Amino acid sequence: MNQFLPVTMEEVNERYQGEVDFVLVTGDAYVDHPSFGTAIISRVLEKEGYRVAILPQPDYKSKEDFMRFGKPKLGFLVNSGNLDSMVNHYTVNKKKRSTDAFSPGGIAGKRPDRAVIVYTNRIREAYGQIPVIIGGLEASLRRLAHYDYWSDKVRRSVLVDAKADYLIFGMGELTVKEVARYLREGTPEKIKTLPGIVYQTKEISDIKNAVVLNSFEEVREEKRLYAKFTKDSFCEQNPYLGKPLVQHHIDRYVVQNPPMRPLSREELDEVYCLPYMRTYHPMYEKEGGVPAISEVKFSIISERGCFGGCNFCSLAFHQGRIVTSRSEASILAEARQITNEPDFKGYIHDVGGPTANFRFPACDNQLKVGACKNKQCLFPTPCKNLKADHREYLELLRKLRALPKVKKVFVRSGIRFDYLMADKNDTFFKELVEHHVSGQLKVAPEHSSNRVLHYMGKPNIEVFEGFMKKFYTLTKKAGKEQYLVPYLMSSHPGCEVKDAVELALFLRKHKMVPEQVQDFYPTPGTVSTAMYYTELDPFTGKKVYVAKSYQEKTMQRALLQTYKAENRDLVKKALEQTGMERFLPVLLPHYNKTAKEKQSNDFRRKTGITKNQGRTQNKSGRTGKKGDKRGADRYHRGR
């Protein structure tokens, strides 16, 4: 029997001998690995006794492919894949991406824009009023009215546009089991009572303790009200104390119930021990497989949730701010499974999650009352109740690197450096440097301007500088040559050109040469996206500067990579615009060199000949006396 869940009717007959309970439609190729939401939800349901078929990347131009398995007994589950389909398709400049790591062969164009809406409408064409439940990241972050960057307007809840029955938001294992149970029992009306559910209704008089948000019509027309709505909804994302949210949409209400509680450690272990095949379906072999698996095949997800509180990140709105982690036994069992893979080379690429060094809630209160409504755990400084303790994570890494066949265990999913610095015990930091850095450690200072960092919800740059100093001190003591690779962001709300110049000077001072930088990308559901759209801080109501012109955004991005020849004129223009021309020799030391000098520099780069070597070579190529003019002349001619 094929151990993947069925993707054809023949496989359905082989596995289940009859109709299926659910068809799970996804915008990704089918990869049965616990890093993919489709794999988790389908395996969770099958363990509960439901018969599930997978419909990956269906032909969305007609209804026929959606009828592949016949009419499912209980309904359809729909997601766009691991990414929002619009982010998957378009760069921050709204240009089409040429590849798609979640599609076979990396070929783009296998899913439609706004996939959840398109898929659900095709299902309605095929079967009418069959239960349709949407979920995954795209649906979760668009569950209420939201600013849509690609159309530059406020759109309705995706539940309304998709014409689905229910929307599951957040990490949906517990919610989807209850939804399935009520559908099987024939009591679908009870779904409206579940945490983690969004639904539509004409009447709200029976909803207790609800927070009535500004309506879709109001937030669409007035940016001040959009900012207020963002704050009001953000403050209720608490599974223990959060209240139902109600938002009027034209002729109905969209109701968001409080979030589902996070899984316990035992429940999380159960999810990750399900019988995943840990690879893509073999039907993709002829197309070269699915590239996304290479990023996760030899990595281990050890926790979920994040109390970091970055304003540009959607984690607080999707996974939540309460961290839960798997047990040591569960992680070690998965590691042993990985080491038995035929192509395992001895390296576990990562052990982490949204933030690698978070293993438990920020404080004891979070498992009782959730994260604080009006305070962050790490911003602007660590809370006095924060438990900064790496001992459990350290013991886990020690045991992983002691496993047979394991040469190295790396930490690549990102270290929250301010949390690390808050830990008074240096043991983890030392062993991280000695054993778990693959030459480069990724960290996310994001910027150097404290004003911009404030809008990002990140710590002051002095914290990163302290971390950086300590990292290189420990690296030197360990006798290693290792480097920090900073994640940096340009054009975040609040960032002006002068702030970008400040960041360029910071990078030059610390001899950092970032190869990749990211323009701020306004994705649905984040506080920073609300700032971008409204030019207001949702929490204070104060005005925020936002770079929106292509010219300025390009200029800010260029300042992060001043070493690139194509950026030099933009950097010079930025310095002139801000009255900071005095920094031209610092940021562009070769900008005013003569053509002859530039030609010399190019020759040295191509040949590897140093300045002195070039000047001591004579015309025949033999070494001459120092200062030999014939050698210098030959060098400058570039022969």
Pair (49, 178) in one structural domain: yes
Pair (541, 498) in one structural domain: yes
Pair (493, 545) in one structural domain: yes
Q: Which CATH number goes with the domain that contains 385? A: 3.30.750
Q: What is the DSSP letter of 285?
A: G
Whether the pLDDT of residue 595 is over 90: the answer is: no
pLDDT for res 593: 58
* Amino acid identity for residue 497 in this structure: V
Kindly give the pairing relationship between strand 408-409 and strand 347-348: parallel
Pair (169, 25) in one structural domain: yes
C-alpha angle 483-380-444 in degrees, rounded to nearest 5: 25
Q: Which CATH number goes with the domain that contains 39? A: 3.40.50.2300
Q: Is residue 262 part of a domain?
A: no
Domain ranges, residue 119: 9-194
Give which of 145, 87, 146, 81 is closest to 519, Cα–Cα.
87
Q: Is residue 402 part of a domain?
A: yes
For the record, the structure tokens of 235 come out as 């403050």
> What are the DSSP E strand ranges found in 414-508?
440-446, 483-490
Pair (384, 500) in one structural domain: no
Which one of 141, 163, 194 terminates a domain?
A: 194
Pair (20, 154) in one structural domain: yes
Whether the pLDDT of residue 114 is over 50: the answer is: yes
Whether the pLDDT of residue 29 is over 50: the answer is: yes
Whether the pLDDT of residue 632 is over 90: the answer is: no
pLDDT for res 442: 87
Pair (549, 604) in one structural domain: no
pLDDT for res 633: 31
Whether the pLDDT of residue 597 is over 70: the answer is: no
Q: Is residue 245 part of a domain?
A: no
Pair (327, 186) in one structural domain: no
Distance CA 277, CA 518 (A): 34
Omega within 30 of 0 (cis) for the link into 275: no
Distance CA 69, CA 19 (A): 8
Percent of the chain with pLDDT over 70: 92
Band the pLDDT of 590: cuts 50, 70, 90: confident
Which one of 148, 167, 194 terminates a domain?
A: 194
Which one of 175, 194, 213 terminates a domain?
A: 194
Pair (69, 128) in one structural domain: yes
Q: Is residue 107 part of a domain?
A: yes
For the stretch 120-168, pLDDT in tens is: 999 999 999 999 999 999 999 999 999 999 999 999 999 999 999 999 9
Distance CA 86, CA 317 (A): 18
Pair (73, 27) in one structural domain: yes
Q: Which CATH number goes with the domain that contains 459? A: 3.30.750.200
Mean pLDDT of the residues in the chain: 91
pTM: 0.90
- If one counts the domains in the chain, the total is 4
Residue at token pair 């409504």: 373
451, with CB counted inside 10 A (0-12, 13-18, 19+), is middle
Q: Is residue 148 part of a domain?
A: yes
Q: Is residue 150 part of a domain?
A: yes
Q: Is residue 432 part of a domain?
A: no
Pair (125, 65) in one structural domain: yes
Pair (350, 300) in one structural domain: yes
Q: Is residue 165 part of a domain?
A: yes
Whether the pLDDT of residue 349 is over 70: the answer is: yes
